[in-house]
Amino acid sequence: MSAPVIETRQFIAGYERDLPIVNGIDFTLAKGEFVAIFGPNGAGKSTFVKALAGVVPVFGGEAFLNGEPIGGLKPHAILKRGMAFVPQTENIFTTLSIHENLQLAAAPLVRSAQGPAIRRMLDMFPDLARQSGRLAGSLSGGQRQMLAVARALLLEPSVLVLDEPSAGLSPKLVSDVFSTLREISATGVTILLVEQNVRAALRIVERGVVLVDGRLRFDASAEALSSHPDLGALFLGADHASEGAA
Amino acid sequence: MSPEFLAYGAFFLTMALTYAIICLGLNVQWGQTGLFNVGIAAFVAIGAYASAILTTPDAAGRIGGFGLPIAVGWVGGAALSALLAFLVGWLTIRLRADYLAITTFGVSVSVQLVALNLVGLTGGPFGITFIPRPFGDLAGNALAFGLANLALVAAVVLVTYLILERLVRSPWGRVLRAIREDEIAAQALGKSPKWLRIQAFTLGGAIMGLAGAIQAHFIGFIAPENYLPMITFQVWAMLIVGGSGNNRGAILGAILVWALWALSGQLIEATFPAGSQARAASLRLVLIGVALCAILLVRPQGILREVRTLSRHALGRKQPEVSS
Amino acid sequence: MNPQVVIDGLIAGSMIGLGAIGLTLVYSILRFPNFAHGEMIAWGAYFAMSLSALIGAVIGGAGAPIAPFSFGWGLVLATIIAMGLTALLALAVDAVLFRIFRKRQSVMIIIVMASFGASMALRSLLEFIYTSRPGYFTRELQIAMPLGGGMRATPDQLFALGLTALLVVFVHLLLTRTPTGRAMRAVSENPSLSGLFGVDVDKVIRTVWILGAALACAAGVMSGLLVQIRPYMGFDLLLPLFAAAILGGIGSVPGAIVGGLIVGLGEALAVQFVGAQWRAGVAFAILVAILLVRPTGLFGRQA
């Protein structure tokens, strides 16, 4: 069997060295998997994926992408090795046009491959294609999320990592985004997703892991998690209550 | 020790203490509030010129000659400098921290320009002479004159120090520090960070103006060349060496840096022939610039750590999210 | 009004504008007002002066004027090399100073202070090496030619205007039409997202320093050619540069050049109507006015 797409061992990361937020995570993501990370606020979900992507300093442990160590690399180097990360907010350049956002994302490709890659994304997201000359800042919340995903997929990464893609979107848009993600997953792309929207996410992912206090607490199939009796207790307060709405 | 030596010592220390006052003013702006002033020279100059114009006797071809008492000059100098600081603060503090830096730099260029060219008010390049000196009737006895002035300036430093220490511990000082640490929390308490910062900047300006006035009266004459951007560098070096945020450090840093400055000046005079002294002097400026950078680089624990907590908010930097 | 004001203003303005482009790029991409930028102008001029003297000494005839200009091809060559040297200087200052603060994620104002210290050191170093005696590229005297409408300009002045226009168009196209420019605009909006898009942020920063320093050198050579070369020439331009960058809107290249021209014209008007000694106050007046009326500048986006 080939190496897992993502593998971390005793992974430690955060903003201050003496106050790590991610505190020793062992995690594996196999090729083709669709996995969600859940957990209460402050559990370290976002920090974990940001550290994987190179945006947050790594203080200890190891991280591998397709068997290659990536701990401490710069974001652009990690992207080059096959991990595309979509942050929760500010995930597109609002002062650049939609087309320019895609051109920027295509820049690491050889020149002849850039045009076709951009065209492939515009075909996939016709909504964006229709207004590709407009400034990305003029897009609606859902369209921005689509552009962010399109830009991330453009380089055909071996894994797509998203930080709360449903945050701030209306229920209708959340289900649009999720069904898009499911389609992408169906084409064989490995996806790792941080989500607060537990119930909706469990309907599309194959596996879920739960972080609490910077550590991995649960790791089970979506089915097992959905029917787990103590699960609710892990997603504290407001988060739990909001699930009904989603 | 000979009286001449003591008199020189008194002169040296008095000068150093006038810088200590400027430094205390800067500490209110930077150490307590995190405001970056690149135009210290201008605020010192305004204080000096205002006081000189108020107190000098009538002079041909120059407005002024009010002949008022020295104390009135000091207050007037501080007040005018405070007014300038208030205007600059009001203009820029509502905008961005970096605009304050650029604008104070512009103020220092402009004040220099006014001092040079508004001959009818400032005496132009020759400046103002015959500024009344405190204890002027003792001038015959260098030692007594020197010691009396030293005592006076030391008293001003002490009073300024005590007032500032009180202010730091007052509710006003606490709120100032609170907004330095966390602007949003302070706003939630109903405190307007903008006004508090403007107040602090104005107070610092007043202290610098007072120092300028005291200096002018102590030396007895002023000219535009006394207020070049160099002063700004020196005072920054003093505050950073002493440790920003700390009033005692500000005083100590002023004395230390002034001593180094005076000493290196004498060294240059003694070792270089007259022809190359200007060159050697510019090398001294290279060193002060390098020293300023070096202190900022190699002492992150003292100064930078303190400053760092100040400003993710205060300076519009985003606090890294720790959302989940 | 004497129409000559227009020519004088345009010439002063193009030097300010060229300097302001570098300043505004550093300001928007590295996110701090670089008080040492003026020093790049002065160092650029001195590099070119020394090199042109060297070239003239080695190759006879390099200094012979190319009619109708006052300078020879030696100065052209010297300027091109000097641009490279100035860029190296900027990269060196970044490596020993600014980069360290970036890595530490120091607050902006600490970096501003460091740039203030660096400006002092760099300027005084020039004074130490070359003394404060003014220098000149050429001793040739030029006759101003009539341009019509009561305006006159020397061939050198017209050359400077043309070169400025060329450089501005070049930088504008670079920024709006090329992948490098796109990456620069991206880093200017959001450096951390740029990395996630695959942009090598360090490389973009190096590009900004090189570009800014090369333009500063060009401004310095022009200023040296048309006026004189002094250690304080860059420092004296600093306030006009800031006024131009803020007036144009930080990050805007067309804004910087338009801002520069406005400041230059303002200075020329002040010289004619108020008196040459007040020239240096114009930039401050413009700065205060723009902060009062429209702090985002003419072409700036909302901060």
- For B:121-140, CB contacts with C below 8 A are none
Average pLDDT score, chain B: 85
Contact in structure between B39 and B29 (CB atoms under 8 Å): no
Q: Which of B197, B202, B226, B201 is nearest to B212 (CA)?
A: B226
Cα distance from N-terminal residue to C-terminal residue, chain B = 70
Domain count, chain C: 1
User: Residue C198 gets which letter from DSSP?
Assistant: T
Its domain, for residue B151, covers 10-228
CB-based burial label for C89 (10 Å; 0-12, 13-18, 19+): buried
Residue B305 lies in a domain: no
Question: What's the pLDDT tens digit per position in A21-39?
Answer: 999 999 999 999 999 999 8
Does the pLDDT at position A242 exceed 90?
A: no
Does residue B7 contact residue B146 with C-beta atoms inside 8 Å?
yes
Shortest Cα–Cα distance, A187 to chain C (Å): 22
Point out the least confidently predicted range of A59-73, B87-101, B110-124, B170-184. Answer: B170-184
Range of the domain at C39: 4-293
Lowest-confidence pick of A70-79, A111-120, B2-11, C89-98: B2-11
Q: Is C178 on the interface with B (CB under 8 A)?
A: no
Of the two residues B5 and C160, the one the predictor is more confident about is C160
Query: pLDDT digits over A177-188, tens only?
Result: 899 999 999 999
**Residue in C closest to B313 by C-alpha:** C107
| Amino acid A14: pLDDT | 92
> Band of the pLDDT at A1, cuts 50, 70, 90?
low
Q: Are A78 and A94 in contact (CB under 8 A)?
A: no
Closest chain C residue by Cα to residue B93: C291
Beta-carbon contacts of A70 under 8 Å, excluding residues fewer than 6 positions away, are A52, A54, A63, A64, A77, A78, A81, A83
Rounded distance between C-alpha atoms, residue C303 and residue C300, angstroms: 8
pLDDT at A236 over 50: no
**Is residue C34 in a domain?**
yes
User: Is residue C269 situated within a structural domain?
Assistant: yes
Cβ-nearest to C192 among A55, A92, A95? A55
Q: Is the pLDDT of residue A127 over 50?
A: yes
B169 inside domain: yes
Mutate to test the interface with B, among A46, A195, A210 (most CBs of B within 10 A): A46
Query: What is chain B's length?
Result: 324
Residue C27's pLDDT band (cuts 50, 70, 90): very high
C127 near B CB under 8 A? yes
Nearest partner of B137 among B153, B151, B149, judged by Cα: B149
Q: For A168, left (φ over 0), alpha (ψ -120 to 50), or beta?
A: left
Chain A residues within an 8 Å CB radius of B324:
39, 41-47, 164, 194, 196
Residue B79 has pLDDT above 60, yes or no: yes
Distance CA C181, CA C261 (A): 24
B59-68 per-residue burial string, b: 16 or more CB within 10 A, e: under 16: eeebebeeeb
Residue C48 and residue C233: Cα distance in Å, rounded? Answer: 14
Contact in structure between C33 and B103 (CB atoms under 8 Å): no
Name the band, by pLDDT with cuts 50, 70 and 90, for residue C159. Answer: very high
Report which secondary-structure segment, H or E, holds B64: none
Chains that touch A (3 or more CB pairs under 8 A): B, C
What is the C-alpha radius of gyration for chain C, rounded to an integer number of angstroms?
Answer: 19
- Say if the Cβ atoms of C189 and A95 lie within 8 Å: yes
B127-144 pLDDT per residue, tens = 998 898 898 888 788 889
Whole-number average pLDDT of chain C:
93
What is the side-by-side strand order in the sheet with A58-65?
A22-29, A6-13, A58-65, A68-69
Contact C6, C269 (CB under 8 A): no
Mean of the per-residue pLDDT values of chain A? 89
* Per-residue model confidence as pLDDT tens digits over C279-292: 999 999 999 999 99
Tell me whether residue C298 is in a domain. no
Tell me the CATH architecture of domain A6-245.
Answer: 3-Layer(aba) Sandwich (3.40)
Identify which of B106, B285, B307 has the shortest CB distance to residue C239: B106
CB B34 within 8 A of CB C109: yes
- Residues A85/A52, Cβ–Cβ less than 8 Å: yes
Q: Picking from B174-188, C113-127, C139-153, C264-278, which range would have the lowest pLDDT averaged per residue?
A: B174-188
> What is residue C146's three-state secondary structure?
strand
| C61 within domain boundaries | yes
The chain C residues in contact with chain A (CB within 8 A) are 179, 182-183, 185-186, 189-190, 192-193, 195-202, 301
Helices and strands (H and E) in chain C: how many: 12, 2
Closest C-alpha to C268, from C283, C254, C255: C283
Q: Say whether C147 sits in a helix, a strand or coil.
A: strand
For residue C264, tell me if it sits in a domain: yes
C36: CATH: 1.10.3470
Mean pLDDT of C237-248: 96
Q: Residues of A numbered 73-102 whose beta carbons fall under 8 angstroms of chain B's beta carbons: which are they?
A: 88
- Rounded to the nearest 10 degrees, how much is the dihedral formed by the CA atoms of C41, C44, C50, C52? -110
Does residue C142 fall inside a structural domain? yes
Return the H-helix or E-strand segment holding C149. Answer: none
CB contact (8 A) between residue C108 and residue B315: yes
Nearest to B98 among C97, C108, C292 (CB): C108
| ipTM exceeding cut-off 0.90 for this assembly | yes
Would you call A43 and B322 a contact, using CB atoms and an 8 Å cutoff? no
Beta pairing partners, C41: none
Please say whether the beta carbons of B189 and B183 come within 8 A: no
DSSP chain A: -PPPSEEEEEEEE-SBTTB-SEEEEEEEE-TT-EEEEE--TTSSHHHHHHHHHTSS-EEEEEEEETTEE-TT--HHHHHHTTEEEE-SSS-S-TTSBHHHHHHHHHTTS-HHHHHHHHHHHHHH-HHHHHTTTSBGGGS-HHHHHHHHHHHHHTT--SEEEEE-TTTT--HHHHHHHHHHHHHHHHTT-EEEEE-S-HHHHHHH-SEEEEEETTEEEEEEEHHHHHT-TTHHHHS-HHHHHHGGG-
Classify B182 as helix, strand or coil.
coil
- The mean pLDDT value for C74-97 works out to 97
For residue C274 the two structure tokens come to: 């108020």
C97 touches chain B (CB under 8 A): yes
C301 located within any domain: no
Residue C84 has pLDDT above 90, yes or no: yes
Contact A234, A210 (CB under 8 A): yes
Indicate yes or no: CB of A39 within 8 angstroms of CB of B320: no
Total domains in chain B come to 1
A76 vs C179, C185, C199: nearest CB: C199
Judging contacts by C-beta atoms under 8 Å, the chain B residues touching residue C295 are 95-96, 99
Residue C61's pLDDT band (cuts 50, 70, 90): confident
Asked whether residue C173 is assigned to any structural domain, the reply reads yes
pLDDT band at B272 (very low <50, low <70, confident <90, very high): confident
C-beta neighbour count of C233 within 10 angstroms: 26
For chain A, say whether B319 makes contact (Cβ under 8 Å): no
Q: How far apart are the CA of B92 and the nearest CA of chain C, in angstroms?
A: 7
Let me know if residue B320 belongs to a domain.
no
